[in-house]
Amino acid sequence: MKRNGIELDKEELQILADFERGEFRRVRNVDAEKLELEDAARNTLQKDKRINIRISSRDLEQIQMRAAREGIPYQTYISSSLHKLVSGRLAESA
């Protein structure tokens, strides 16, 4: 949908409507808030544990092929997949 000559998607339209209704509040200390959010993001993404697992060579080959298609190292692909699974962004297959 266009608004003032700008194409907005559904989410952007909702944000604009919320803003126009005054539902947003100014952050008192932007710098402190930014540092707190950066720290939370850093702690969330920090890889501080190492694991060792045994999997079948067939599974590993499949993982390596998928990682190659994504253009990332297979260990990064595994870590990303596990993160998506535990955060609910990747559905378990039954």
3-class secondary-structure state, position 90: coil
Instruction: Check if the beta carbon of residue 76 is closer than 8 Å to that of residue 66.
Output: no
DSSP-derived letter for residue 49 is -
CB of 46 closer than 8 Å to CB of 36: no
Q: Please name the residue ranges forming H helices in 6-73.
A: 10-20, 30-45, 57-70
Domain hosting residue 31, numbered range: 1-46
Q: What total number of domains does the chain contain?
A: 2
Indicate whether 74 and 33 sit together in one domain: no
51 falls within a domain: no
5, 40: one domain: yes
- pLDDT, mean of each 10-residue run, the chain (94 residues): 78 90 88 87 78 95 94 90 84 68
91 in helix, strand or coil? Answer: coil
> Full-prediction pTM beyond 0.85?
no
The verdict on 18 and 37 lying in the same domain is: yes
Would you tell me how many other CB atoms lie within 10 Å of the CB of residue 29? 9
Domain assignment present for residue 74? The answer is yes
**DSSP state, residue 5:** T
